[in-house]
Amino acid sequence: MTAFSRLWRRAPLWRWSLYGAVFFLGLGLLFPTPYLLHRFPFLTQIPGSAAHRGQTNDQSGAPSAPDGGQAPPGSTPAPPPGPDRVGAPDINTTFSGGIPFGGHTLPLPAGMWHPVLTGQVGPGGAVLFTILARTDRGIVTGVIIARISSRPQPGQSADGVENSCHDDRNFASRVLSEGHNGLLECWAVARSVGSSSDLVNAAFQRLHTLGFPIPPLFVATTWVRAQAMKDGSGVNLAAVDTLLAPVKPASIQLLAPLPYWDKASLAKAPDAERFVQATTHWMANWVGVLREGLVDGLPGNTAPADVSRDPAAPPF
């Protein structure tokens, strides 16, 4: 009798540990986590695995990429709500610096960003949108929600474009142009614990389903711009929300308890106050980069490194 056979007969716990290892290895191959897919891309090719099914389910055409073109191979479509076109690109794709978006460049803050949802919404699909997430050690540290019109929208589409900048609950806000030469533009910083948008909720649901830990609160920056056409044909719209996670490194633990992130309570939590002040300072500079990318033209089509580091950016 060999040593292995004696151990097999006399050590039932060891024997069951081998059974468990084989069982959980099989589960890992069939349902790989985002971390495993990132480290071992070949797992997406295993027949029968969830990752393989995700890559082969697309039978109705490729979804849209952020710039309105075709999404990269491996994308999977999300169920389109009504006439809207919504796609779920390969979450393992990464971007940095900036991406093509509606014939312009969407600047990206520091870090590696993953596409979550992308497509076209509104009448005739006239508004392009993209939602991206940034992770640090598997935890979501930032989310970008960007929208831009592909053609002028009716004048009433500009109504209320600045409402978010006049909310008394904002930590900070600034109106850059209030109708001068037909231009409305502003930015704001506020807390965010949820959204009324079905698309945004679907994006967070996808991140949750894929196993990405998500903080319970974000500090949100908003930039909106509406420029009326001189011929009266409508308004060109652009808006970017950037959600930053005020958490301790490699965790979803907030820098201060949830109740202290209200405007009235912020001064009672120095760590939270410092994060909001740093976000406001960053946004005051970042808004110029957004305008260059989505309106004027961003040099090199990438965000400058010295401005791109937001308070939630991962370490170098």
Q: What is the pLDDT of residue 65?
A: 34
Whether 70 has a pLDDT exceeding 60, the answer reads no
Q: What percent of the chain clears pLDDT 90, i.e. is strictly above it?
A: 53
Percent of the chain whose predicted confidence (pLDDT) is above 70: 73
Q: Kindly tell me if the per-residue pLDDT of 224 is higher than 50.
A: yes
Task: Identify the residue with better confidence: 316 or 48.
Answer: 316
| pLDDT bracket for residue 62 (50, 70, 90) | very low
pLDDT of residue 191: 95
pLDDT in tens, 22-41: 666 666 655 555 555 545 55
User: Is the per-residue pLDDT at 247 higher than 60?
Assistant: yes
Tell me which residue has tokens 């991140």: 207
Taking residues 150-178, what's their average pLDDT? 80
Q: Return the pLDDT at 294.
A: 94
Position 14 confidence tier, pLDDT thresholds 50, 70, 90: low
More confident residue, 288 or 19: 288
* pLDDT on residue 279: 98
0.85 surpassed by pTM: no
pLDDT of residue 174 exceeding 80, the answer is yes
What is the predicted pLDDT for the residue at 82?
Answer: 47
pLDDT value for 156:
58
